[in-house]
Chains A and B, each alone.
Chain A
Amino acid sequence: MKNILPIIIAAIVGFLLLADFFLDIPAIKGPAAEVQDWGVILAAFALALATINLIGFHIRQIGRKSKDRIHSLILIVGLLATAISGIFMGTDSAIFDFIFRSIYTSLAAAFYAMTAFHLASASYRAFRLKNPLSAALIVSGVLLMLGKAPIGENIWSGFPVIANWIMEVVNVAGSRGILISTAIGSIAMALRVLTGIDRSYLGSGSE
């Protein structure tokens, strides 16, 4: 019974939303919209739960005197300072604004910018002429870069045309193939979950 009830709920909710998406049945529109709203509430609740879990985990890290406890302490102080200033002083208060703009925004942008260095290095290593396939990768990569960067168009007006052709024909053909096979896999997976064959989301495996 412990496993049966969640499977029945998942199946009812899943088939209800599927029917609402694919069929035009006025009677199920209301319940389907209601279930979708529950999903939003659950997602918001999951966020709150995750925050409590995160705080609990890092308090335990500090209690155990873990060697990384300073990071845990910074996380808790940062999390509480942001939450308290936002909830009690408002999101337009000077303190929340300072945390958001001068710390969070700058750090987030810096982390993202750093990936550019790893991308440059990884591309340099990946672009090695070993066989015809790697040659195709190098040629299409160089043509795309020249086609998308302003300098390429200034060298030859044909570069953007070639780049667009690679993006809209070759790339789209490949992406669609991957997308269709992923979609078929997702449908099969969804059916396994909805019919109760796959129960991994309950903490148990397939039957």
Chain B
Amino acid sequence: MDFFEKLGQIDNRIIYVLFILAILIPLVTPLGLPVSVSQHTKQAYEVIDSLQPGDTVIIDIGISYSGAGDVLPQTVAMLKHLMSKDVNVIFTGVQMDSSKIIEDLIKPYEEVGKQYGVDFCNLGYLAGGENAIAAYAKDLKKAYPLDFRGNSTDILPILQNVNSVKDAKMFIFFSTQNADMYVRQISEYRVPIVGGLIAQ
């Protein structure tokens, strides 16, 4: 048995211990390595930076809590950027955890004076996956007669001039699944699409 064959037969437990050490050592004593910003991230930043105060964007939160550790930080960062530019945000969701995650995302901004229904709203979870995306993209208020907090979408100020995705300046999605269904259903509305996905 040569060296490489022996390496291939190492017990799983040894691999797990090495893996734990590989996670724990940088966690306890950070290596301080600089993290570079990818070209795609720069492009996403620039397109959001080009938005004007008062513009409205739709963000779909397709995040489940199992993958939130991976996708939620980028959502928080992008929302911070949007809020700093006074962009209005309409939240939708196609994952069962969406409604609760959106409430957590907007809570800090409500505490500093941003107004629910004016600066942002949480339309909550809509069942049906890709069909739900197609339905709300076509007619937001028909797909969502009420928001997550029970308000009629007809009276929310943020939705007064937004009836479908084509009335928004941009469509943003964050997903722990995949990007295909968003691109398939939203691209026909010719609005810029920005997405944040789980590492696969």
Residues of A within 8 A of B (CB): 21, 33, 36-37, 39-40, 42-44, 46-47, 91-92, 100, 104-105, 108-109, 111-113, 116-117, 120-121, 124-125, 128-129, 150-151, 153-154, 160, 164
Which of chain B's residues have a CB closer than 8 A to the CB of A111?
66
Q: Is the CB of A109 within 8 A of B12?
A: no
> Would you call B152 an interface residue if the criterion is a C-beta within 8 Å of the partner chain's C-beta atoms?
no
Contact with A along B131-156 (1 / 0, CB 8 A): 11011001100110000000000000
CB contact under 8 A between A105 and B65, given known A40-B127, A40-B132:
yes
Q: Is the CB of A112 within 8 A of B69?
A: yes
Contacting residue for B126 out of A40, A42, A128, CB 8 A: A40
CB contact under 8 A between A36 and B33, given known A44-B127, A109-B68, A120-B19:
no
18 A-B contacts, Cβ less than 8 Å apart?
Answer: A40-B126, A40-B127, A43-B131, A44-B128, A92-B103, A108-B64, A108-B66, A108-B68, A112-B69, A117-B16, A120-B16, A124-B10, A150-B33, A150-B35, A151-B33, A153-B34, A154-B34, A164-B39
Q: Is the CB of A116 within 8 A of B128?
A: no
CB contact under 8 A between A39 and B69, given known A121-B12, A154-B34:
no
Look across to chain B and name the residue whose beta carbon is closest to the beta carbon of A33.
Answer: B138
Contact residues, B88-131 vs A (CB, 8 A): 99-100, 103, 126-129, 131
Q: Is the CB of A36 within 8 A of B8?
A: no
Q: Is the CB of B69 within 8 A of A40?
A: no
Which of chain B's residues have a CB closer than 8 A to the CB of A109?
65-66, 68-69
Which of chain A's residues have a CB closer than 8 A to the CB of B64?
108
A87 CB to nearest chain B CB (Å): 13
Q: Is the CB of B139 within 8 A of A112?
A: no
Choose among A40, A42, A109, A129 the residue with the greatest number of B CB atoms under 10 Å from its CB: A40
> Would you call B15 an interface residue if the criterion is a C-beta within 8 Å of the partner chain's C-beta atoms?
yes
A118 CB to nearest chain B CB (Å): 9
> Would you call B50 an interface residue if the criterion is a C-beta within 8 Å of the partner chain's C-beta atoms?
no
Which of chain A's residues have a CB closer than 8 A to the CB of B143?
37, 40
Which of chain B's residues have a CB closer than 8 A to the CB of A153?
34, 36
A101 CB to nearest chain B CB (Å): 9
Q: Is the CB of B65 within 8 A of A154?
A: no
